[in-house]
Amino acid sequence: DIQMTQSPSSVSASVGDRVTITCRASQGISNSLAWFQQKPGKAPELLIYAASSLQSGVPSRFSGSGSETDFTLTISGLQPEDFATYYCEQTRSFPHSFGPGTKVDIK
Q: Which of 66, 84, 87, 104 binds other proteins (CB under 8 A)?
A: 87
Please, which residue, 7 or 17, has the CB nearer to other proteins? Answer: 7
96 binds other proteins (CB under 8 A): yes
Instruction: Give the count of beta carbons closer than 10 Å to the beta carbon of residue 106.
Output: 10
d(CA 67, CA 51) in angstroms, rounded, equals 7
37 binds other proteins (CB under 8 A): no
**Phi/psi at 82 (nearest 5 deg)?**
-90, -5
- Tell me the CB-side half-sphere exposure of residue 98, using CA atoms within 13 A: 12
Print the binding letters for residues 1-20 with other proteins: x by CB under 8 A, - otherwise.
x-------------------
Q: Which stretch binds other proteins (CB under 8 A): 11-19, 20-28, 33-41, 63-71?
A: 33-41
